[in-house]
Amino acid sequence: MGRIIKNRAGSIEKDKLINVFEEAMQVHLRLLTSFFEIIKDEKEQKDVFNFISSAINKLNESRKRKLTDAEIEKISKIIFWNINFDVVYTFISKIIKSLGSDKLSKIICEVCDRLNTPISQLVKHGVLMWNNKNLQIDEIANQLSKKEFSGIAKKIMKTLIVDHASMHEIDYKDRQRLEAKLKLPSKRLLLESIKIDEETN
C-alpha cells in the first residue's frame, strides 16, 4: 500500500490517497494496540518478568558478587520496559518509512491532524523530519505539553529528533531551542552530529 501511494502520488485522486494512507496506518496501529493489550495484562507481565529473571539468574551463577533478588527484579523491569519501548519505536518508524513521502506530506499532515492522537502526531513529525527535513520545534513542544502525551510517546518523539540530528545538521540556535523547549540536551544532539561527520569522513 505504501509503494502504491508513494509511486502514484501524482496520478491517484486525493481522496483515494487519504483513504489508502489511513487504512495502511491503521493496520500498523491495530497490531500496536494488540501489543499494548498484551503488555498491560498483569499475568503476561509476570510471565515475561519471570523469563527475564530466570535468564539473569543463570548469568548470576558465574558472578563473584551475586545479585540480590531485589537487584534482579529491578534489572528485569528495566529490560522489560526497554524492550517495550523498542517495539513501539519500531512500529512508529515502520509507518514513517513505509508510508511517508515528501509528495504525500500534505495529505499525511491532514490525516494525522484530523486523528490528533499522540501516535498520529509522532507519525506526522517523523515523516516531516525523515522526508522533508522539516523539524517543527514549536509545534512539537506544544504537542508534548498535552496531558495525553505519555512518557513513552515523549521519549519516542525525542528519539526521532535525535535520529534526525544524526542525519542532518542542526544549527546552534535550533539546538538551544530544543534544549529550552523540549529539555533535549544540546550536547546529545551535537554528539550525534559529530558522530555522523566522523562516519562520513
Instruction: Tell me, yes or no, whether 79 lies in a domain.
Output: yes
Instruction: Tell me, yes or no, whether 137 lies in a domain.
Output: no
* pLDDT class of 49 with cuts at 50, 70, 90: confident
Instruction: Tell me, yes or no, whether 141 lies in a domain.
Output: no
Instruction: Tell me, yes or no, whether 151 lies in a domain.
Output: no
Instruction: Tell me, yes or no, whether 130 lies in a domain.
Output: no
Instruction: Tell me, yes or no, whether 95 lies in a domain.
Output: yes
Instruction: Tell me, yes or no, whether 172 lies in a domain.
Output: no
Report the distance separating Cα 19 and Cα 118, nearest Å. 20
Predicted local distance difference test score (pLDDT) of residue 191: 56
Report the distance separating Cα 2 and Cα 97, nearest Å. 9
Mean pLDDT on 74-98 = 91
Domain count, the chain: 1
pLDDT value at 78 more than 80: yes
* pLDDT class of 44 with cuts at 50, 70, 90: confident
Residues 6+ apart with CB under 8 A from 50: none
SS3 120: helix
- Model pLDDT for residues 109-158, shown as the tens digit of each residue: 999 999 999 999 999 999 999 999 999 999 999 999 999 998 889 999 99
* pLDDT class of 42 with cuts at 50, 70, 90: confident
DSSP 129-183: HHHH----HHHHHHHHTSTTS-HHHHHHHHHHHHHHHHHS---HHHHHHHHHHH-
> Hey, what amino acid is at 136?
Q
Predicted local distance difference test score (pLDDT) of residue 130: 93
Instruction: Tell me, yes or no, whether 180 lies in a domain.
Output: no
Q: What percent of the chain has pLDDT over 90?
A: 49
Q: At what angle do helices 151-167 and 118-132 cross, to 10 degrees?
A: 0
Please give the residue range of the domain that contains residue 22.
1-102
